[in-house]
Structure 1
Amino acid sequence: MKTTIYSIYILMMVSFFSACGQQENRERKGATSTDVDMITNNTIKQAFEAWQRGNSKLWLSFFTKDARLYDDGKLRDFHKFSTHAIGEEWFISLDKIEDNGLSIYGKIHTKKWGDFKTYFKFRINDQGKIYRLDIGQADY
């Protein structure tokens, strides 16, 4: 009986440390904290950090309930995008920040499409919530 409990404990610990290592590897591939420091708008910075960590609940907390998403100019379902893309896509570099920290350009990694240059352009209302996000492939 003690051997079985000990074996289960060892298996759980191995699984735990393996999972921690996988998360750490993913974060090392992402944009560095130095890159994130380039984002001067605090709301956008916090939303971006939530995106990078794959935390959809925190990400969504920065947006209005009726936030709109435009992907290369086409209206898409913002909530569906947010819940499906988070954890599957992340920035691997930030190349430039414009519009007082509201526009982010960089290289993104997606499990489905690979790596490419992209932009995220945010619009914030008077209450400090993001009400619109424009995304798309960037050419710079």
Structure 2
Amino acid sequence: MKTTRLSDPAVRAFVTALNSQDREAFLATLAPDATMADDGDDRDLDQWIDREIFSSHGHMEVDSESDGGRSLLARYRNDTWGEMRTRWRFTVDDAGRIARFETGQA
């Protein structure tokens, strides 16, 4: 699925920034107090973003979306783990920024 076709604007911006390795644009998609979880465990957002996305060249190929574009099934790859099938769920705040995202193997 092309990133430009993702339904939710906040999620579309998140995936676009992630795939272009644009840290500034990526951080702009997040609410100031955003949180996240990986495989059901809450993680330190800044450390996770650096380790799993930017220092390891993360990239997401979305296979499908549901829940108005706030749930994704995707193939995620980075230099550390290779490629894996993943699920992503996003909570978007009233300002249109991502307040929380949860990811893990699908």
With the length of structure 1 as denominator, give the TM-score of the two structures: 0.69
- Identity %, equivalent residues: 24
Q: CA shift at 1:42, angstroms?
A: 1.2
The answer for unaligned runs of 5 or more in structure 2 is: none
Q: CA shift at 1:108, angstroms?
A: 1.1
CA root-mean-square deviation = 1.4
Q: Which has the higher strand share?
A: 2
Alignment of 1:15-54 (within 5 A): 35-54=2-21
Per-residue CA deviations over 1:72-126 (Å, capped at 9, x if unaligned) read: 11000112212233242111x3211011011111111121111110012110111
Task: Answer yes or no: is the 8 Å Cα contact 1:55–1:86 preserved in 2.
Answer: no
Task: Answer yes or no: is the 8 Å Cα contact 2:53–2:78 preserved in 1.
Answer: no
Q: Distance in 1 between matches of 2:50 and 2:33?
A: 15
Runs of 4+ in 1 over 4 A off after TM superposition: none
The answer for unaligned runs of 5 or more in structure 1 is: 1-33
Q: Distance in 1 between matches of 2:72 and 2:32?
A: 22
Aligned residues: 104
Q: Which has the larger radius of gyration?
A: 1
What is residue 63 of structure 1 aligned with on the other side? 30
Aligned counterpart for 1:128 among listed residues 66, 71, 96: 96
Task: Answer yes or no: is the 8 Å Cα contact 2:58–2:77 preserved in 1.
Answer: yes
Task: Answer yes or no: is the 8 Å Cα contact 1:56–1:82 preserved in 2.
Answer: no
Q: Distance in 2 between matches of 1:56 and 1:82?
A: 9
Amino acid at match of 2:88: F
Amino acid at match of 1:90: H
What is residue 76 of structure 2 aligned with on the other side? 108
